[in-house]
Amino acid sequence: MLTIIIPFKDKPNLLKKCINRIANINPLIPLELLLINNNSIKKKTYQVIKNLYKIKIFKNINIINTDDPFNYSKAINNAVFSSKYDKVLLLNNDVFITCNNWGIEICDLLENKNFGCIGIKLLNPDNSIQHVGINLDFKYGAREITDEPMFNEKYKNINYVKTKAVTSAFMAIRKEVFIKLGGMNEYIFPLTFNDVHLSLKAYESGLQNLCITNLTAIHKRSSTRKLMKSKMTYNFKRRLEKVMIKIRILYHYLKNT
């Protein structure tokens, strides 16, 4: 059983494609769908939402409405706390799953109490590797790992790579772990780097973050943030959050040396 949390603001075609992929590529488990609606205004968006209730694969569908200015961390925290199932997947509306049986494999790994944040291999639209984990980086704050990882023999049927952090474009985590870690930081990282910060908290608590490399999805990068990036306040907050994650990374290294 898995709760899928998808934030969105309009972009009805993206939302429809994202959810259709979830429904049509069998996850082999019951699903709950929580949609975080950030003040959408297009009629087509609400038509897409209305049609979701016809999809039988979702055992429960809820819409959580939020207003501008959008605080991603706060919205995700509220959604996770209200989720019905203990296993939770944070998913961008511009991520399109491409592999069968993805849901049951994610949930099987989440049964392991040693694991924290779990991601999968994300591909660019041209099928080149976009993400198999995140490296900490003092210049950029965080940098995606794009090298093909080696097979790990610990799981014969699942290839995975250990990593310090994974992106919340596709991040699975147990609800109890999310709450124990204090969720995402709504005050310091309301827009960006909240996934890196959450991953670091999981890692520092003794949990192992990882990316599954035989499960894939296409990530149409930044499609959900194009409108926000045009705003001066977004750019200022983004620069401030980059400074703060660098400080947090320094703390991480000092704490673990």
Per residue in 167-221, pLDDT tens? 999 999 999 999 999 999 999 999 999 999 999 999 999 999 999 988 999 999 7
Q: What pLDDT does residue 110 have?
A: 95
The structure tokens 């995700």 sit at: 76
pLDDT surpassing 90 at residue 145: no
Query: At residue 111, what are phi and psi to the nearest 5 degrees?
Result: -70, -25
What's residue 149's pLDDT?
Answer: 66
Counting residues of the chain whose pLDDT is more than 90, the rounded percentage is 65
Tell me the average pLDDT across 97-120: 93
DSSP annotation of 165 reads B
pTM: 0.91
What is the per-residue pLDDT for 124?
A: 94
Distance CA 87, CA 66 (A): 23
pLDDT for residue 116? 97
In terms of Cα–Cα distance, which of 143, 17, 40 is closest to 92?
17
Q: Which residues contact 24 (CB under 8 A, 6 or more apart)?
A: none
- The DSSP element (H or E) to which 36 belongs, if any, is strand 31-38
Buried b or exposed e, range 212-246, using 16+ CB within 10 angstroms: bbebbbbbbbeebbeebeeeeebeebbeebeebbb
- Cβ atoms of 174 and 86 within 8 Å: the answer is yes
Q: What does the pLDDT average to over 95-113? A: 92
Which stretches does DSSP call E strand in 45-159? 58-66, 87-91, 95-97, 115-123, 129-131, 134-137, 141-144
Domains of the chain in start order, with CATH, are: 2-255 (3.90.550.10)
Residue 152 has a pLDDT of 60
Q: Look over the chain and give the mean of its residue pLDDT values, rounded to a whole number.
A: 89
Q: Which carries the bigger pLDDT value, residue 28 or residue 12?
A: 12
CA 201 to chain centre: 16
The pLDDT of residue 157: 60
Beta strand 170-174 with 87-91: parallel, antiparallel or unpaired?
A: antiparallel
134 - beta bridge partners? 144, 165
Query: Which pLDDT does position 254 carry in this prediction?
Result: 86
The tokens describing 77, both together, are: 């925290």
pLDDT at 255: 78
Integer Cα distance of 115 and 166 in angstroms = 12
Q: What is the mean pLDDT of residues 134-159?
A: 73
Task: Give the span between the Cα atoms of 242 and 136, in whole angstroms.
Answer: 12
Residue 28: pLDDT band by 50, 70, 90 thresholds? confident
